[in-house]
Structure 1
Amino acid sequence: MSDDGARIDRLEMRLTEQDRAIEDLNRTITEQWRIIDRLTRQVAVLTEHVEEAAARSDPRGAPEPPPPHY
């Protein structure tokens, strides 16, 4: 019987450790999604700025000629 009690104790400890690990992973993933969302919005804003700047610099929409070293 003591083996069963020790086994149950080990399983309960293991379950507690796994619960803690899952909570840590969940917090990490949630924070990463917040960062990804913020960065995605920043990239969208920067893309819009670049497109606006390109449209203002060349109103005809012609591609920029290659640099002289080509």
Structure 2
Amino acid sequence: MSVDNKFIERIEALEMRIAYQDQTIDDLNQTIAKQWAEFDKLQREIAKLYAQMEEMDNSGGGEVDERPPHY
């Protein structure tokens, strides 16, 4: 095998590795974007729950130690 053929094979192998790496990077970017979207959604939901809890505390609705009427 000549020197030129070896270089061509090495270049082709590198090009193939780069193509796989590019695909992997794209897949990882999509995964991270989905995770951030889910994280943002969960943060908004937690903020809503905190607001609801604060509203319940401020309205005086229901003491935690209060017994239900059937006791």
Task: Give the greater-gyration-radius structure (CA).
Answer: 2
**How large is the Cα RMSD of the aligned pairs?**
1.4
Q: Post-superposition, which runs of at least 4 consecutive aligned residues in structure 1 deviate over 2 A?
A: none
Instruction: Report the alpha carbon displacement of residue 55 of structure 1 after superposing the two structures with TM.
Output: 1.2
* Map 1:1-70 → 2, pairs under 5 A: 1-57=4-60
TM-score (norm: length of structure 2): 0.78
Q: How far apart, CA to CA, are the structure 1 residues paired with 2:7 and 2:47?
A: 59
TM-score (norm: length of structure 1): 0.79
Which residues of structure 2 form unaligned runs of 5+? 66-71
Q: How many residues align?
A: 60
Instruction: Report the alpha carbon displacement of residue 45 of structure 1 after superposing the two structures with TM.
Output: 0.3
